[in-house]
Amino acid sequence: MSSYTPVSLIQTDEGVEMSIRAIAGASRNEITGIRDGSLVVRITTAPEKGKANQAIVDLLARSLAMRKKDLRWIRGERHRNKCILLCEAELDQVKKLLSRWTGPQQDQ
């Protein structure tokens, strides 16, 4: 039996909320897949003075072809488990973009 869990994505009036699991101190900035419903993001910077959060925003904006100003933290700015809002994004669009790292997203 497969233990596949899709990334937690929630469509809101403002956009799509996405759960993230951040791993600081990696050898390179990259999205590596999913863990427990969160997109796993590895970043090289240390979690000091918001540098790691900025590196996550930079990576996600580039990877999802979004503007940095359209990514807004909802919670977890000081924790490895985070939630970010992809402003004005549509759920189907985000699922399609994430399939590169996660495989096809199924309805939740």
Give the pLDDT confidence of 46-100 residue by residue, as tens digits. Answer: 888 889 999 999 999 999 999 999 999 999 999 999 999 999 999 999 988 888 7
The answer to whether 15 and 93 are in contact (CB under 8 A) is no
Mean pLDDT of 10-25: 95
For the chain, give every domain's residue range: 9-92
Q: In the block, which residue shows the tokens 């959060």? A: 53
Q: Which overall architecture, per CATH, does domain 9-92 show?
A: 2-Layer Sandwich (3.30)
Residues 6+ apart with CB under 8 A from 1: none
15 has a pLDDT exceeding 60: yes
The helix (run of H) or strand (run of E) holding residue 54 is helix 51-63
CA 25 to chain centre: 17
What contacts 59, CB < 8 A, 6 or more positions away? 29, 30, 31, 41, 43
